[in-house]
Structure 1
Amino acid sequence: MTATLAARPAVAHRDRNVLCWLAAYTSSMIGDSVYYIALSWAAVQAGSPSQAGLVMAVSAVPRALLMLGGGVLADRIGPRGVVIGSDAVRCVAVLAVAALLFLSTPGLWPLAVLALVFGIVDAVFMPAVGALPARVTTRDQLARVQGMRGLAVRFASVVGGPLGGLGVAVGGAAAAFGLAGLLIAVSVPLLIAVRVRELPADDKEHRRGSTAWRDLLAGLAYIRRHRVLAPLMLAITLGDLGFVGPLNVGLTLLADERGWGPSGMGWVLAGFGVGAGAASLLLTVRGRLPRAGQLAGCAIITGSVAIGALAFVPGVAAAAGVALLVGLLAGLSGAICGALMQTQADPAYLGRVTAVAGLVSLGLAPLSMPLSAAAIGIWGSGPVFVVSAAVCGLSGVIALCVPGLRRVELPQ
């Protein structure tokens, strides 16, 4: 039986229902971080570096292919049930591999199967996670919840790495997988305790006679016709394409090119993380920022200039300072775009809307990483960072030039 959210909740960071959802989400994300460390360590131990790379990449294919279908599923049966079921499957799969590694040395095949399962489950988990906040709190609190979610992601990335390393150090990959499974398991009872808001009866009735394919087409048509969501998706696409390459593989190559070493790259990444965390904290505390569309566009354009400048700063300290600015502006624009997506989309379509955004971030944007690496090898980091910054800047131009997106406000 689905728990129902009936009364108007308190401010998000004081609402027990939202905090229960946040605890579940945070535990699941920390478990994910530990899982990826365990998977990479186990794959390197069981095979060659190229084989380990293939194992790590296995989950990307089903995640990209099935993401839109996952959005349809979240909207058809409700995001809460999909998230609970997804976490349960991930927990069982990870613990099964942990037990297998503890009892024997099976090689790469169980790791590849686990990665494949995670990719399939992620395709339905991620759209459902994106659709769930609109059922947990009221529309005026969604921006604050988006900031809280950003803080949870940052916390998970900071805590998950050391926990995964500790698990590997104490008991090898089997112990790290077991720890990941237990962390994901913690989220399941918390999610069961979360109360959700039901869709209006007319939305359910309209959906009842439709097929999954028609639901998918209806969702895509809904985005295309929407005066805010259509340009917002284009802005998100360009922003991710311009941002992912330089701040992932590009930063590693830049650190190597400048002789900063791993520690120097770590300081630059730390600066970015601090800036992004500060942006999430700002949205969590304020709950609403005025002129959201215009603010997002200005933050994207200013952040794009900082991305281009990152390749030309003289030393690690200056690079860390610029990275902090990039993190602050990118975190602010990303949080605002996420909040606008949450507040502008009808809850009945939010799973499909989140799936389209997730397909861009997880399917299209990673393609820029090998292209960025190849381009840096040919032309060096400077020109590639400038081009990437220009692509990212187009996202801000769209936000400022399309009236519907420029004038949009977060609800009060």
Structure 2
Amino acid sequence: MSALPAVPVTAVRAPSAVPERPAHRDPNVLRWLAAYTLSMVGDSVYYMALAWAATRSGGPTQAGLVLALGAVPRAVLMLGGGVLADRWGPRRVVIGSDAARCAVILAVAVVLFLSAPGLWLLIAVALVFGVVDALFLPAVGALPPRITAPGQLTRVQGLRGLAARVANVTGAPIGGLLVAFGGSAAAFAAAGALFAVSLVLLVAVRVAPLPTDGAAHTGSTGARGELADGLRHIRRSRVLGPLMLVIALSELGFVGPLNLGLVLLAEHRGWGASGMGWIVAAFGTGAGGASLLLAVRGRIPRAGLVLCLSVVAGAFAVAALAFVPTLALAAVAGLLVGLLAGFGGGLCGALTQTVTEPAYLGRVTSVSTLFTLGIAPLSYPVTGAAVGLWGTGPVFVVSAVICAAGGALGLAFAGLRRAGLPGAEPSRAEPPRAGLPGAEPPRAEPPRS
């Protein structure tokens, strides 16, 4: 590596007399975090209610069909959602999508209280929810740079990871209890209420206007031209292009084994559902620990290098899952996978939001989210078929190789390998740019509807 002095990944920032407020002590960030957590819990309750209602209406096969159909518009429209987030502003899109979810879910709850509609209603709801998710997810990823200082983005990603852990742990049990005691209608009503409270909190969140707030100003007209501009922005960047490749490969190698593959592994080893539960709990503990570390530490030196090494190390832990002889060692491997995946995921989000120019935040986030929530889950049927043909060991090894290839590829690109985060240490990743968030102290504006 060169001994030349490093250059920050973002623009050289003017010094401010106002000290940077830590994200975990910022009431504005905490309002956003509470809104995000409630929305995530509402999602979990909604999916539980939808699956139960679909099973009651048509059986397990129809329930799987309903859930699968809901994922189609999310994958197809995700990139378009990023364009709208940049064109209209992420705050408007997030508030609008939360309002739409609240209205739809409460309407379904009323219908279920009054009648017993057929499967067609649940299919329609799943499709609408998929469309709304395609708008909501890119906008959520583009919002943090507008509510906190650049040096706090790593801490915000840690807090967001903790919120996701809380939602995963609490959402499904709450949904199950509501379905058990009040039926699907009660669960839908509770999900709608959670979205309503989340909406109120989101309206109260203040955002700092960025130099390009409200428009992309990229010279292209129309959604297709704006999307092409966003993809060109990723390709031109010395950090974003390699980072998207790392995300794509690591998710492709990670999702199959740690979801469907883990179920099949526990069955083959005779550990049963309880054994799988211990591994999943260990994974959640590791991921939560990584999020907590990011939230408390706030600044991680040499973030690009640490990210790539975390992906490579996590790949070895994934492969180890298929070969450890005891359940206790499998739980330890799951803990390491969760810790390294949570750490790498948080750094991915922080680097993406730091390096991306403000006008492209929605579109860049939509590309990374498409890989994680749109394309990677398509590996489930491939994983299942491969385990049936060759067993869990070879499949976990191949998946680990794919995941490690993502981290190794990131190490091969100097731009990503040398990338750093504001406040942690200088970096050589990108030349200075004008108009990036944090170039001047953020000016809060009153809430807008």
TM bin (shorter chain) = over 0.9
**1:84–1:188: 8 Å Cα contact kept in structure 2?**
yes
Size of the aligned set, in residue pairs, is: 406
Structure 1 position 183 matched with structure 2 position 203: no
Structure 1 position 42 matched with structure 2 position 53: yes
**Cα distance, 1:208 vs. partner?**
8.4
Structure 1 position 65 matched with structure 2 position 79: no
Which of the pair has the greater relative contact order for Cα pairs under 8 Å at 6+ separation?
Answer: 2
Secondary structure of the 1:313 match is coil
**Cα distance, 1:152 vs. partner?**
0.3
Structure whose residues are more often helix by fraction: 1
In 1, the alpha carbon distance for the partners of 2:215 and 2:309 equals: 39
**Cα distance, 1:48 vs. partner?**
2.0
Secondary structure of the 1:290 match is coil
Runs of 5+ consecutive residues of structure 1 not aligned to the other structure: 1-6
For 1:66-215, list aligned pairs within 5 A. 66-200=77-211, 204=215, 206=217, 210-215=221-226
Structure 1 residue aligned with 2:259, among 248, 265, 268?
248
Structure 1 position 315 matched with structure 2 position 326: yes
**Cα distance, 1:171 vs. partner?**
0.4
State TM-score, norm by structure 2.
Answer: 0.88
Hey, what does 1:283 align to over in structure 2? Answer: 294
Taking structure 1 as reference, are residues 344 and 104 closer, same or farther at Cα in structure 2, changes over 3 Å only?
same
CA deviation string 1:193-239 (max 9, x = no partner)? 10111121598483587322211111010001100000000000000
Secondary structure of the 1:59 match is helix
Identity over the aligned pairs, expressed in percent?
Answer: 63
State TM-score, norm by structure 1.
Answer: 0.96
Q: Output the amino acid matched with 1:311.
A: A
Hey, what does 2:36 align to over in structure 1? Answer: 25
In 2, the alpha carbon distance for the partners of 1:163 and 1:205 equals: 41
**2:138–2:369: 8 Å Cα contact kept in structure 1?**
yes
**2:216–2:359: 8 Å Cα contact kept in structure 1?**
no
Structure 2 residue aligned with 1:344, among 352, 355, 372?
355
Secondary structure of the 1:67 match is helix
In 2, the alpha carbon distance for the partners of 1:36 and 1:203 equals: 33
Runs of 5+ consecutive residues of structure 2 not aligned to the other structure: 1-17, 424-449
Hey, what does 1:56 align to over in structure 2? Answer: 67
In 2, the alpha carbon distance for the partners of 1:181 and 1:219 equals: 34
**1:135–1:196: 8 Å Cα contact kept in structure 2?**
yes
Structure 1 position 359 matched with structure 2 position 380: no
**2:89–2:214: 8 Å Cα contact kept in structure 1?**
no
**Cα distance, 1:166 vs. partner?**
1.1
Hey, what does 1:371 align to over in structure 2? Answer: 382
CA deviation string 1:139-197 (max 9, x = no partner)? 11111101100000000011101110111111011101111110111111111110111
**1:8–1:138: 8 Å Cα contact kept in structure 2?**
no
In 2, the alpha carbon distance for the partners of 1:217 and 1:208 equals: 11
**2:88–2:215: 8 Å Cα contact kept in structure 1?**
no
In 1, the alpha carbon distance for the partners of 2:333 and 2:73 equals: 36
Q: Output the amino acid matched with 1:10.
A: R
Taking structure 1 as reference, are residues 201 and 218 closer, same or farther at Cα in structure 2, changes over 3 Å only?
closer
In 2, the alpha carbon distance for the partners of 1:222 and 1:237 equals: 17
**2:87–2:214: 8 Å Cα contact kept in structure 1?**
no
Structure 1 position 218 matched with structure 2 position 229: yes
> CA-atom RMSD, angstroms?
1.4
In 2, the alpha carbon distance for the partners of 1:316 and 1:114 equals: 40
**Cα distance, 1:50 vs. partner?**
1.1
